Structure 1
Amino acid sequence: MLSATNLPADQFVPDFPSHLTADIPIQYIIEKLHDLGPLYFNDKKTAYAELRIAGINKPFWVHKEYLETQSMFFKELFETVQNGDAVTISIPSPETFEAILEYLYYGDIQKWYASLTLDNYYGVCQNVEFLGLGSDAKDVCLRFYHQEIKGLSQ
């Protein structure tokens, strides 16, 4: 059986409730959450909290498990947010947030990559850094840079 002692540290979310995830790699948990993403994305009935983004005039109904397992920012935020709370945050590029949120629920890298444009690329990358997303999200930004931006200058 795999355990935290024989896997790289980035395979587990620090301080995630160990009684729920003892010896289960975080990538496995995230994969299962992505499988269920279509059932829970923006679902008010099952949401943990109402999330508002400064600059966007609609709420997002979010689930703690989806966000705190994939974002250091949300992991820290949910230490103070209670079930049923409404919280407003400011992020560098509000207009690119919904596509990132959808990616966190569905895990569809190709769909998220397809939403990137030369106009929104910088804002997406700012949000990825600000939200403390993992290497998969950073790789999307890097791949877009190499294929679309750097390729234009050659």
Structure 2
Amino acid sequence: MLNWITNTISSLSYLGIGLLMFLENLFPPIPSELIMPLAGFTVARGQMQFIPAIAAGVLGTVIGALPWYYAGKILGTERLQQLADKYGKWISISSKDITKADRWFDRHGSKAVFFCRLVPGVRTLISLPAGISGMHFHSLGSQKEYAAV
């Protein structure tokens, strides 16, 4: 995996960083914890500029969150519950689990998105309940919510 990430960044430069960060948000096994440090190493060697490398990573990550966000927004709670009841046995999830998660997300969604975006693997999946709840893309919550944190 390390060689593939290194080769992608070397051959595609900023586009490679953006592409890898996009894919990392779709498929959790691709670790951004390798992508961005390698991008930083490339910057330190003088082969890339700092600001465009960061911008490519951020842009790739934001675009990568969109498919999961819109899947949640389009499918909605009821459809996901139906899918869980039909196929959830393969991943040990039921419609009851989705209902409990939905209630929890209604109470803690803004904080959950903020903190879960920092956790590898979870950062991919947190976009789904954000979409289901119709969370605004540009807001992570009010100042009042974070005062309690």
Q: What's the TM-score once normalised by structure 1's chain length?
A: 0.30
Higher relative contact order (Cα pairs below 8 Å, separated by 6+ residues): 2
Larger radius of gyration: 2
Point out the structure with the larger strand share. Answer: 1
Q: What's the TM-score once normalised by structure 2's chain length?
A: 0.30
